[in-house]
Structure 1
Amino acid sequence: MDSTTATDLWDRLAGSQSGPSVWTVVGTGLVALAMILPPRVWRVTRNAITIAHEGGHGLVALLSGRTLDGIRLHSDTSGLTVSRGRPTGFGMVLTAAAGYPAPSLLGLAGAWALSTGHVTALLWVAAALLAAMLVMIRNAYGALTVVLTGAAFVLVSWLAGPEVRAAFAYGVVWFLLLGGVRPSFELQRKRRFGAAADSDADQLGRLTGVTPVLWLLFFHVVALAALLAGGNLLLRG
């Protein structure tokens, strides 16, 4: 690769671009909402939220000094992240607490990146994170899901024009912010009917002695706060 090509690639990655029109920002938000509210559509699109959820568990497990054994993503949109280390303690608490907030916090980080005009960088970073996650996937469905998702980011960032890249990036960030809200309410409903005895909230309750209801409240607060802050960044940007 000659220096000119390398410079062009760096400029494309690190450079910023002006934000899209307010109609594009609002429109991509409405499209994201349409991918979340209908139950039949959500059963498919929720896979993307599961990727972020399990990726959050895995990343925090590594950062807290645990050994990450693998991640599984299932066709019913459930997932499982397995790590080794002390079965109790601060690292285990952080790992268990990371899943539900992960999509919302990723969306908030993405909203900040878009507000500064770094559309292409956002897409490339997302593709890199998915590639890193792929190494730890331990089932075929999970691998296929991550590969297809990563391929979408790569193709759009490489082949699409600035307007399409921006619309895609804004749609993804809106989806993470809005989609990050729904799972904690779904968990709350399942727990009400006794169908989630081993949920993240219940595991955290056993690890910390704090009632799972408060952990559910924590998940709600993080998701809603990220949606408000991230939505404000997107609309103002």
Structure 2
Amino acid sequence: MRPAIQLYTLRELDEPLPDLLRRVGDTAFEGVEFAGLGDSDPDEIRTALDDAGLDAAAAHVGVEALESDLGGVVESYESLDCDRVVVPYLDETQFASEAAVTDTARRLETLAGRLDERGVALGYHNHDHEFAALDGRSAFDLLADETDFDLELDVGWATAAGRDPIDLLGHLRGRVPLVHLKDVADDRPVELGEGDVDVEACVRAAREAGTEWLVYEHDDPDDPEASLAHGAETLSDLLR
């Protein structure tokens, strides 16, 4: 299992993406998960990745972009040796009823099939609203039961929703190549070790579930530079 950072964590730093990659390369992180490429040229990003000694763990890509220009998305990330794309968010209406979840599952399965033909794996990243109760089970559980694509479990948002991320990782064994390691307190993201998540237990459970990349994310850090350093140091210690 290797450490990576979701670059959304650093979005408030007013720097071109290649410069952010160089920052990450100066830490113990071994990879990045993209949150878009901005205006940067893919060739420049490729060079920055290589110079920083980083791998592309995955990329967050909106479902509309995938549906409207799947070929263009795949081509852009192929040049970065990135063969995993993750839908980062679908709104609450997509999980409001069993029928809505079934439609969502079919929509994502269609994308997963199209991407698989191009040698790219699809994943879905949860927040907390996917755990809404639907007749005895959550919408997230129903989505998992009706699909077979990867699920990028965010342990922080699962905790905020009142679910045990360790139990979830056990049930999702083999389907969670990417896990977001995030801490929360009072349903708000905080720095690792300052919230309600049993971070060490989550790392053990992710390892047992076959996770390949442990991805650090902080949705709203007060100091992105400090959060980058703290996240890198914490994951390095946890993965020793």
The structure with the largest helix share of the pair is: 1
Structure with greater proportional strand content: 2
TM-score (norm 2): 0.26
Q: Which has the higher contact order (CA 8 A, sep 6+)?
A: 1
Q: Which has the larger radius of gyration?
A: 1
